[in-house]
Structure 1
Amino acid sequence: MTELRNDWTRGEIEEIYNSPMLDLIYRAATVHREYSDPQEVQVCTLLSVKTGGCPEDCSYCPQAARYHTDVKVQKLMEVDEVLSNAKAAKENGSTRFCMGAAWREVRDNKDFDKVIEMVKGVNQMGMEVCCTLGMITESQAKRLKEAGLYAYNHNLDTSEEAYEDIITTRTYKDRLDTLENVRTAKISVCSGGIIGMGESHLDRVGMLHTLSTLPEHPESVPVNALVAVEGTPLEDQERVPVWDMIRMIATARIIMPKAMVRLSAGRVNMTMEEQALCFLAGANSIFAGDKLLTTPNPEVDADKQMFQVLNLKPRASFKGAAAEKYSMA
């Protein structure tokens, strides 16, 4: 069985990333079969529970207050409305429900109290509940864990070297500190990045190197293709080739064999055949629903058809290595 390693070098990862495409896909598919059922794909739903007005300057994000985009600022949703969305997501086959709030960081106030109630409610439905709320402290992470939070998403976005080209309102260390706080609270870590922001292939390797050399690999690694939004600094970026997505997914699968590798933003522009290659290369999770926070996503019916054609089956909640450690069930 492929060895689990946390001592990958950048050179080793670069060699994997740059290997011939068909060899890379074959190697990743082989590793994938050692640790997972290749027919199983987890269906996740992501809901923006507080939209827009964020003080950060992330160049890709239409929710930043300083950019002029079509995103309308909305206050934090009511608990009942969120739980109604979660129930609908579960009925459509989702086994993981992620709630995103456009905050720089969590503050200990009434809004956080409401999020805690949301987490409790979704957890009681038997779904894996995930949040992405910006930076959190260790005590806030522990509070979320006690409420039933299964996973916390906080993406690195890109390499440490390219980070300042994309974001100046927080540091790379801030990102890593939040991941450490999540891990300390015994919450499953979800962390990946975005490609197509003008970074080099070496930057992509650098981001994967950081993730794969953490003390423990993230249980979940989202791979996003930039969705260029008018009004943001990256509005003129060209769509990233699907082959770059496949390289990222396959490399992530090989160096982090147990992780859920999530085919995330940018999927709306991919054909079923392109998505099938991503699954072959080791992706075993998608986000369903017509919106991914504020960007378009394929419709549920299209995904159901794809699952039928490719003989895929939805992965159950609380399954695998992460579940043994982090499940509240």
Structure 2
Amino acid sequence: MLRTDWTLDEVKAIYYQPVLELVAQASEVHRQHQTTGEVQVCTLLSVKTGGCPEDCAYCPQAARYHTGVQAHKLLPDAEVLAAAQRAKESGSTRFCMGAAWREVRDNRDFDRVLNMVSQVNDLGLEVCATLGMVNDYQAEKLKEAGLYAYNHNLDTSEENYSNIITTRTYDDRLNTLENVRKAGLSVCSGGIIGLGETDEDRVKMLHTLATLPAHPESVPVNALVPVQGTPLAEQPRVSVWEMLRMIGTARILMPNTMVRLSAGRQEMPVTEQALCFLAGANSIFSGEKLLTTPNPDFDADKEMFALLGLKPRQSFKNHVPEGATVLAKTAAVEA
């Protein structure tokens, strides 16, 4: 039975138990609610890079930090479509487009993004976007264009949020998630660990996600990739045991959710990634970059899948959204 009424004490009890016991429990929940050994491969492309006015302390795309990231305007439609086609041919079933904007504005660039969404949807891929804050009208326009999911991470706990970002509020984040949900889009929202937060902050963030009116369909668990020039450049690497606590707890709290092993995977050997899959992670991002940070490429991931006996998850499995292409509907039926 799915619950959205978890108490903070219940989440703490799950999170703080011995890590091997947590992994065992999470693995059992995963087996009951998901197809084990099945992992969705996603690709994330930065369609507009750098120059963001926000001050997110972890982000190399903030204009105020000197990180060496080369800013570029919105990519040409043909370039985005070609990248989506390459991702599909390499095994990805979900294609996410990220733009370094504070918020979506109703202008020509947004119209171009809507066109990109429509074209990528026609390839039969789950189309995701992360464009900053959106209002209800913009979320509905994205849905009409064929968008399947919208990503907007909480990043950390509400209590720790102002230590990481001061240019928007936690309520801004939650309002965007509400607008996305109302539009009928799949909600993708998770966080980053390794920002200097406490275990208590991690527990509170998971509690917030698990007690939303409905669980996010997708929860990315990111390990900070420190970038020189950002305020968090000297943060130590997160350990696999910390990732396991996050992934395992997320899996137990939100059994039907896709738990995504996201940023930081480049630094994780296959043995560590295997433990994360055992704890309930069932999605990865593949491709040379995750927006602007290094990420394992498709060939390395194919080798890992073969070694661990994993199989790729089909797009639109168990859910065919309105407006999905015939190709996508066929894939969902076959899955």
Asked whether the two chains share a fold, i.e. TM above 0.5, the reply is: yes
Task: Provide the C-alpha distance between the structure 1 equivalents of 2:323 and 2:61, rounded to a whole number of angstroms.
Answer: 31
Select which of 41, 52, 55 maps to 1:54.
52
Select which of 301, 324, 333 maps to 1:328.
324
Select which of 267, 270, 275 maps to 2:268.
270
Counterpart for residue 62 of structure 2: 64
- Pairwise mapping of residues 138-157 of structure 1 onto structure 2 (< 5 A)? 138-157=136-155
Deviations along 1:2-23, one digit per CA (max 9) or x if unpaired, are x210000111101100111111
Identity of aligned residues (%): 69
SS at match of 1:211: helix
Matched, 1:186 2:188: no
Task: Provide the C-alpha distance between the structure 2 equivalents of 1:227 and 1:4, rounded to a whole number of angstroms.
Answer: 33
Counterpart for residue 245 of structure 1: 243
Amino acid in the other structure paired with 2:200: L
Q: CA deviation at 1:328?
A: 2.6
Unaligned runs of 5+ in 1: none
Select which of 9, 17, 20 maps to 1:19.
17
Task: Provide the C-alpha distance between the structure 2 equivalents of 1:16 and 1:200, rounded to a whole number of angstroms.
Answer: 16
Q: CA deviation at 1:96?
A: 0.1
Q: What count of residue pairs does the alignment treat as equivalent?
A: 325
Task: Provide the C-alpha distance between the structure 2 equivalents of 1:291 and 1:48, rounded to a whole number of angstroms.
Answer: 9
Counterpart for residue 172 of structure 1: 170
Q: CA deviation at 1:315?
A: 0.1
Quick one: structure 1 residues 217 and 252, their matched pair in 2 at CA, closer, same or farther if it must change by over 3 Å?
same
Task: Provide the C-alpha distance between the structure 1 equivalents of 2:223 and 2:136, rounded to a whole number of angstroms.
Answer: 30
Instruction: Answer whether contact 2:148 2:321 (CA < 8 A) is retained.
Output: no
Amino acid in the other structure paired with 1:278: C
Instruction: Answer whether contact 1:188 1:326 (CA < 8 A) is retained.
Output: no
Instruction: Answer whether contact 1:149 1:187 (CA < 8 A) is retained.
Output: yes
TM-score with structure 1 setting the length: 0.98
SS at match of 1:19: coil
SS at match of 1:104: coil
- Pairwise mapping of residues 1-329 of structure 1 onto structure 2 (< 5 A)? 3-320=1-318, 323-324=319-320, 328-329=324-325
Backbone CA RMSD of aligned residues: 0.8
Amino acid in the other structure paired with 2:39: V
Amino acid in the other structure paired with 1:225: A
Task: Provide the C-alpha distance between the structure 2 equivalents of 1:299 and 1:82, rounded to a whole number of angstroms.
Answer: 18
Amino acid in the other structure paired with 1:302: A
SS at match of 1:47: strand
Q: CA deviation at 1:35?
A: 1.0
Tell me which stretches of 4 or more aligned residues in structure 1 moved more than 6 Å.
none
Task: Provide the C-alpha distance between the structure 2 equivalents of 1:325 and 1:203, rounded to a whole number of angstroms.
Answer: 34
Instruction: Answer whether contact 2:118 2:146 (CA < 8 A) is retained.
Output: yes
Amino acid in the other structure paired with 2:79: E
Instruction: Answer whether contact 1:318 1:327 (CA < 8 A) is retained.
Output: no
Task: Provide the C-alpha distance between the structure 1 equivalents of 2:36 and 2:246, rounded to a whole number of angstroms.
Answer: 18
Task: Provide the C-alpha distance between the structure 2 equivalents of 1:275 and 1:70, rounded to a whole number of angstroms.
Answer: 29
Q: CA deviation at 1:324?
A: 4.7
Task: Provide the C-alpha distance between the structure 1 equivalents of 2:36 and 2:56, rounded to a whole number of angstroms.
Answer: 35
Unaligned runs of 5+ in 2: 326-335
Instruction: Answer whether contact 2:124 2:324 (CA < 8 A) is retained.
Output: no
Q: CA deviation at 1:325?
A: 5.5
Instruction: Answer whether contact 2:195 2:224 (CA < 8 A) is retained.
Output: yes
Deviations along 1:39-98, one digit per CA (max 9) or x if unpaired, are 100000000000000000000000000000010110000111100000000000000000
Task: Provide the C-alpha distance between the structure 2 equivalents of 1:41 and 1:211, rounded to a whole number of angstroms.
Answer: 22
Task: Provide the C-alpha distance between the structure 1 equivalents of 2:234 and 2:154, rounded to a whole number of angstroms.
Answer: 22
Deviations along 1:120-146, one digit per CA (max 9) or x if unpaired, are 001000000000000001000000000
Task: Provide the C-alpha distance between the structure 2 equivalents of 1:310 and 1:327, rounded to a whole number of angstroms.
Answer: 35
